[in-house]
Every structure is written in C-alpha cells, then in structure tokens.
Amino acid sequence: LPYRGSSAWGKYSPFVVNSQKKLDLRRVNFVKKYLKKNDNHLNVLDVGCGNPSFLELLQQNLEINCTGIDFSDSGWKVKNFPNLTLKKVAIEDFVSAKQFDVITLWHYLEHDYNPDQTIEKLYNCLKQGGKLIIEVPDYKSITAKTQKSNWQGWHSPRHISLATKKSFDLLFQKDKWEIKKHLRYGTLDAFTLWWLGRMQKKEVDWSGNMAANFWMLVLLKVVTAPIFAFEKLFPMGIQIVVIEKK
C-alpha cells in the first residue's frame, strides 16, 4: 500500500496527502536538530527517497543542498523537483564528489540485503562528525508481539534486515561510529504499522480501491489514540537511531 501513494484512497486522497505532509514536517523538525543553523552550504542525502516530499520540505525550510537516491525514479517522474538533486541509483553504485552533513534512511535499511556493505558506503559519504538518522520497525515492540505474523514490520519478503539496539551496536563499529541516540519511537505514527497489520489479518486486497476502508481507519485512529499516546513511553513498533561518524 505505501508504494501506491495517495491515489489508492480515491476521493479521500487529499486526507492522505495531508497526512504525508505532517509526517514530512516531523522528519524535517527531527533532522534540523542535527544541522548547523544559518548555514546554506549544508548537504543532506536521503537514501531510498521515493517521492521526495520530505527533501522538498527540508530544502524549502533551510535552503540547503538536498540529494535523494532510489533504485526507481517513479517517485519523481510525475512532478518536477527543480531544487533537489535526484538520482536513480542503488546505494552500492552511488558516487558523490561531496560528503554529507546528514544522511537519512527512512524505512530503508529493513529492505537492504547487505547492511554491512551499505553502512561502509555511508561512512565514506559522510563528513567527520556527520550524522546518520535511521528509522526502522522495532520487532521487539508491543505491537509486534501482539500481532505476531500479521505485524507489518515483518512485511516478508520485502523486509530483510530488522534490528534492535543490540543489532545497531554490532553493525556500527565503535572505532568508526558513536550511537548518539536510540529512541523506541519515530516520526512514523506507530498506529500506521498496527493498522496495516490489522488489514493484513483481514486479508485485504492491497491492489484495490482503499476508499471503502477510510472511515473505519479514522474510527480506529480515534479509538486507539489513548493507547498510542503512550508510544514515547512504551515501544509500539517504530524506532529511530542517530549515529555519528567519528
């Protein structure tokens, strides 16, 4: 479903577009914490950018240099993004003459067949003192335990590499990296992952028109709000880690 975009929701697509804008804003605000203020020479790379709406908003907010890469250009073929550098390339084949201040991976790493190789590549692309910001599902979360095989963090066969804090400690060698922050919540609403799991259990046709499911989605969002309000206290399905290059 995430790959189909807002068009999957038919007449309710404007609501989905608005929801994506809110997500992009949360991500921009998170990244801004790790960028120097009033420096328009900063460089940010987003790996697996898809539809680069996050990068577009970041560039508009800070007027910095933003690059996005993805193995497919379907996310930016329809709309022009004149202020972004967008490249159709896999991370292992990506070549850049410049190094980056921040590199973001929003739900990319779980799709990666060779995370060790990718991390080494990112190390070479990052400035000394630069930050990696990685958001992935948390398979030791409450929703993963309750939804079991239907939990969409598994999302087999698309999700290959799932991680915990211990996994990150092993992936990022201490002589090269320092984990600055690990949060058991992220920018993506954990409700979204839970709802996808619920729909998976119902064996919904993801290729169909999702408009018929819209109002039930809204109702569930309201009903479960008191539960997901505690996602910063209890792990509900999303995690984010910030790692600094030494």
> In order of start, what are the domains of the chain with their CATH numbers?
6-245 (3.40.50.150)
CB-count burial class (<10 Å; 0-12, 13-18, 19+) for 111: middle
User: Look-up: residue for tokens 């000394």?
Assistant: 128
Contact, 98 vs 41, CB < 8 A?
no
CB-count burial class (<10 Å; 0-12, 13-18, 19+) for 158: exposed
Helices in 70-152 by DSSP H: which ranges? 115-125, 142-147
For 71, list phi and psi in degrees, rounded to 5: -70, -15
What pLDDT is attached to residue 115? 92
What pLDDT is attached to residue 149? 87
* Mean pLDDT in residue range 112-120: 93
Q: Round to whole Å and give the CA distance between 57 and 53.
A: 6
Q: At what angle do helices 13-32 and 53-62 cross, to 10 degrees?
A: 50
* Mean pLDDT in residue range 59-68: 96
pLDDT digits (tens, 9 = 90+) for 42-57: 999 999 999 999 999 9
The answer to whether residue 184 scores a pLDDT higher than 70 is: yes
Amino acid identity, position 11:
K
* Mean pLDDT in residue range 108-124: 93
Q: Using a pLDDT cut of 70, give the percent of the chain over it.
A: 97
The answer to whether residue 157 scores a pLDDT higher than 60 is: no
The contacts of residue 75 (CB under 8 Å, 6+ apart) are: 49, 50, 51, 52
**Choice between 38 and 237, residue whose per-residue pLDDT is larger:** 237
What pLDDT is attached to residue 3? 59
Q: Round to whole Å and give the CA distance between 244 and 151.
A: 31
Q: For residues 188, 194, 195 and 198, what is the CA-based torsion angle, rounded to 10 degrees?
A: 160
pLDDT digits (tens, 9 = 90+) for 121-146: 999 999 999 999 999 999 999 999 99
What pLDDT is attached to residue 182? 96
* Mean pLDDT in residue range 7-17: 91
Which of 6-15, 115-124, 157-166, 226-235 has the least mean pLDDT?
157-166
According to DSSP, the β-strands at 238-245 and 177-183 are: antiparallel
For all residues of the chain together, what is the average pLDDT?
92
Amino acid identity, position 118:
T
* Mean pLDDT in residue range 67-73: 96
Contact, 94 vs 125, CB < 8 A?
yes
* Residue 90 binned pLDDT confidence (cut-offs 50, 70, 90): very high
Q: Round to whole Å and give the CA distance between 6 and 79.
A: 14
**What SS3 class is residue 65?**
strand
Q: Round to whole Å and give the CA distance between 245 and 140.
A: 27
Nearest alpha carbon to residue 110 among 132, 72, 136: 136
Amino acid identity, position 104:
T
Q: Using a pLDDT cut of 90, give the percent of the chain over it.
A: 78
* Residue 78 binned pLDDT confidence (cut-offs 50, 70, 90): confident
What pLDDT is attached to residue 156? 60
Contact, 7 vs 13, CB < 8 A?
yes
